[in-house]
Amino acid sequence: MRSVIAEDGELKQRYAIEITQAADAGAVYAINRALVQVMERGTGRSVRRQLPDDLIVAGKTGTSDDLRDSWFAGFTNDYLIVTWVGADDNRPIGLTGSSGAAKIWAGLLMSLEANSYNAPAPEGVALHWIDYLTGDSSAERCPDAVPVPVPAIDYYTRTFSCDGETGFGARVRSWLGSDTR
């Protein structure tokens, strides 16, 4: 329930909360995991280095044409923060999302007691390890291995070597009739 309470503490009105699922839980989970990778390996990595090593965050930078706007949106389990740097007259400011707004975001997040993003995978979704550079199936222990949400089906339960010679990527290349390495 949501309530409207007067300054003196008197209850004025109560409203029931209605929740309607707007998107597939597996798809939302996959996007959020991709946003974690943006922070670990993508455009957010320079700002990520300013945060504690054990803090898992998700986020995305944004830069408009001609460097007019610098955006960053990111979240943890506790906080969603969106920052913008720009000029009201729409002139270029010379900052990208990572060189401007993301630095402000990281500074603000550091002032808070944030908990790592750690949403569990929804039913029917499992994490499958792939090599970040090739997209081939991998093992968690391999260099450059990253978890990717996939439908929880049998053929993802196999174990794979770190040499890139086996796995899902190799099967796809064989299906296509060529080896692209």
Contacts of 20 (CB under 8 A, 6+ apart): none
Which residue has better confidence, 3 or 74? 74
Tell me which residue of 146, 80, 149 sits closest to 117, measured CA to CA. 80
Tell me which residue of 22, 60, 21, 25 sits closest to 149, measured CA to CA. 25
How many whole angstroms separate alpha carbon 43 and alpha carbon 95? 13
- Structural contact between residues 74 and 54, judged by C-beta atoms closer than 8 angstroms: no
Contacts of 143 (CB under 8 A, 6+ apart): 162
112 is written with which tokens? Answer: 């808070």
Query: 73 in helix, strand or coil?
Result: strand
For the segment 88-123, what is each residue's pLDDT rounded down to a tens digit?
Answer: 999 999 999 999 999 999 999 999 999 999 999 999
Tell me which residue of 26, 41, 20, 8 sits closest to 144, measured CA to CA. 41
8 is written with which tokens? Answer: 């003196």
**pTM listed for this prediction:** 0.75
**What pLDDT sits at residue 121?**
92
DSSP run (H or E) holding 96: none
pLDDT surpasses 50 at 181: no
- Delimit the domains of the chain by residue range: 25-110, 125-176
